[in-house]
Amino acid sequence: MSAIDKAKNKVDELAGKAKEKLGEATGDRGTRNEGKVDQVKSNLEAAGEKVKDAFDN
């Protein structure tokens, strides 16, 4: 996993957390859920990169 991919996944995860908190603060379920989805997607991408790395070595 390249450093750029790691950084992108972390930024996506943090953006998802921010969306989730914003949705909680405003009572907007859609924004909250969108933030959770963004976090899950980021975690899945990171896991996929780790699997690729494992097979490359």
Query: Residue 11 has what pLDDT?
Result: 94
What token pair was written down for 38? 């963004």
Q: What are the CA-CA distances from residue 26 to residues 19, 21, 29, 34 (Å)?
A: 10, 9, 9, 14
What token pair was written down for 14? 């943090």
Query: Residue 26 has what pLDDT?
Result: 97
Q: How far apart are CA 7 and CA 20, in angstroms?
A: 20
For the whole model, what pTM was predicted? 0.82
| Dihedral, 13, 17, 43, 12 alpha carbons, nearest 10 | -20
**Positions in the chain short of pLDDT 50:** none
